[in-house]
Structure 1
Amino acid sequence: MLDPLRHRYDDWLALDEHGVVDDRAEAAQDVRALQLVVRMERDSTPSWHAAVALSASAAVAVCLDPRSAAGGAWHEAVTAYCTGHIRKVTRRARGAHWGAVQELPGITLGCGDTQVRALVPGRAVDLDKRVSRLQVGGTDAPHDGRPVAPDGPTLRMWLPPQPPMTLGKSMAQTGHAAMIGAALLAEADPGALARWAGAGYPAYGIRADATTWRELAGMLADPQRAWRDARLLAVRDAGFTEIAPGTLTVIAQAPASG
């Protein structure tokens, strides 16, 4: 299912800023996106760390769900999405609106008071009104300390200290990272992918300090070697919102064998 991401990965990382802008061009009727919805009640703020981790887990879970496989109810939608640009849009919902999006095809994950739902991707022009009415703005939350990484197979993710990204933007980027990680593992280590899937695709994301980010980014100068030697991968943004085209937004380490 995620093979197209693997085939495009090296080429995408190699594009300069102008190449990113040219590559992202797409007719409006062809734009497809996976919607991420974060629950933001009036009296409850989601955890930044939990939200970026849940977005990663939920995005890849939708793409690799049995319903997305050949013959499944989601197969056509997910295949069309993965063969194009893997755009994601983060929206916020509360109360009845949160309940309404549970009626749409997708997967909801939670950790403590934080809940995220990843919806089966589709064309932007066909967006269900229960989703289109949800706000894209205001999807932010304070950075809440440093969580403990889960045991077992985990996608570890570092987000840059600069440029600053809202929680919503960060969630979209970690969703990209999880999909790329699964795509690369599917070829390099199907056993590791199976173990990660069996654990529920756990993820862990933090905002890196400047030194750590610089060291990790230096390793990505040779993406194939970074993947081969350390299971490192990177996400570069197309630059539609918040940040410049080609910005490195996530560096992640895929789960290892054994």
Structure 2
Amino acid sequence: MGAVTSPDAPQFVLPLVVRIEKDAPPARTDALETAARAVLTLLSDERAGAGTGEGGEDGEWAQAVRDWQDSRIRKVVRRARGAEWRKASALPGITVTGERAEVRVFPPVPLDGWPKELVKLQVSGTDLDDPKAPAEPDPALPVLWMSPELQMSAGKAMAQAGHGAQLAWWGLDDDARAAWRKAGFALAVRTADPAHWPELAASGLPVVRDAGFTEIAPGSCTVVADHPALRNRSVQRG
């Protein structure tokens, strides 16, 4: 899923690495929220923008971001700890922290061209739990509502939350983007109430439909991005 679907174009992927130490793993919701904020942080970084470099040139990551967004906005989450995390942290990228979660996002890379420091990291088996049920989200916050109908590993869900945040970002005007950035990209990730999910999915808010590469069927609705600014627009359209 991307700005322009170009099936024949070279495929790029956005790498995210979550730090999972054996004795101190983050809570699942914390990791999902941190991954979503990491994607937004990269998208808003001047290195990723057109004409944001010195002398009005593109930022150093701008072409890679364009190549990625012109195809599918594919994201892959891997996990690291100890020396693996330190090596990953030395590569160009941005580390975003949550309550305990740490997620490092890197500029997009070709699907078959991962840096050697990342290619060996595990992608499967990234599972996390919430020690207690997350609190009800603040109504003023953007909320990424996860499907109550799908079972996903933590890594898969982190990628989907990142997709939802990105679709919300694309839907906002410059003022709304600036306000969200100023707020540190505050957001919540929650699993929707099964009774309300059909209404959310049909609300006109941005919906993530999975490409079906891993874990779930193609076209599955995984996330609804409920940003207040977009919520107001969807009500007006309705």
Asked if TM exceeds 0.5, the reply is: yes
CA contact (8 A) 2:211 2:219 kept: yes
Structure 2 residue corresponding to 1:59, chosen from 28, 39, 42 = 39
CA contact (8 A) 2:30 2:100 kept: no
Task: Name the Cα RMSD after superposition.
Answer: 2.1
Deviation at 1:207, TM superposition (A): 1.1
Given the alignment of the two structures, is residue 159 of structure 1 paired with residue 139 of structure 2, yes or no?
no
Structure 2 residue corresponding to 1:169, chosen from 151, 156, 171 = 156
Higher mean C-alpha deviation, range 85-94 or range 193-202: 193-202
Structure 2 residue corresponding to 1:207, chosen from 191, 194, 207 = 191
Normalization by structure 2: what TM-score?
A: 0.86
Q: 1:150 to 1:100 in 2, by over 3 A?
A: farther
Q: Which position in structure 2 is the counterpart of 1:111?
A: 98
Question: Could you list the runs of 5+ residues in structure 2 that have no partner in the other structure?
Answer: 51-57, 231-238
Deviation at 1:190, TM superposition (A): 2.0
Normalization by structure 1: what TM-score?
A: 0.80
Q: Which position in structure 1 is the counterpart of 2:60?
A: 73
Aligned ranges for residues 39-58 of structure 1 at < 5 Å?
39-58=19-38
Given the alignment of the two structures, is residue 235 of structure 1 paired with residue 208 of structure 2, yes or no?
yes
Deviation at 1:215, TM superposition (A): 2.2
Q: Which position in structure 1 is the counterpart of 2:122?
A: 135
Deviation at 1:112, TM superposition (A): 2.4
CA distance in 2, matches of 1:147, 1:37: 26
Q: 1:148 to 1:118 in 2, by over 3 A?
A: farther
CA contact (8 A) 1:150 1:202 kept: no
Given the alignment of the two structures, is residue 193 of structure 1 paired with residue 193 of structure 2, yes or no?
no
Q: Which position in structure 2 is the counterpart of 1:98?
A: 85
Q: Which position in structure 1 is the counterpart of 2:165?
A: 178
Query: Which structure features the higher share of helix residues?
Result: 1
CA distance in 2, matches of 1:218, 1:109: 32
Deviation at 1:25, TM superposition (A): 4.7
- Give deviations 1:147-185, integer Å, cap 9, x for gaps: 353686x42111111221111111101111111111111
Q: Which position in structure 2 is the counterpart of 1:216?
A: 200
Q: Which position in structure 1 is the counterpart of 2:11?
A: 31
- Give deviations 1:187-219, integer Å, cap 9, x for gaps: xx3211110011121221011121121221232
Given the alignment of the two structures, is residue 246 of structure 1 paired with residue 234 of structure 2, yes or no?
no
Q: Which position in structure 2 is the counterpart of 1:16?
A: none
CA contact (8 A) 1:38 1:93 kept: yes
* 3-state SS of paired residue (1:246): coil
CA distance in 1, matches of 2:145, 2:97: 21
- Give deviations 1:112-161, integer Å, cap 9, x for gaps: 22111111111022210110010001111124411353686x42111111
AA matched with 1:68? A
Deviation at 1:56, TM superposition (A): 1.0
* 3-state SS of paired residue (1:38): strand
Q: Which position in structure 2 is the counterpart of 1:147?
A: 135
CA distance in 2, matches of 1:247, 1:190: 30
CA distance in 2, matches of 1:69, 1:58: 16
AA matched with 2:68? Y
Segments of 4+ in structure 1 off by > 6 A?
Answer: none
CA distance in 2, matches of 1:164, 1:25: 28
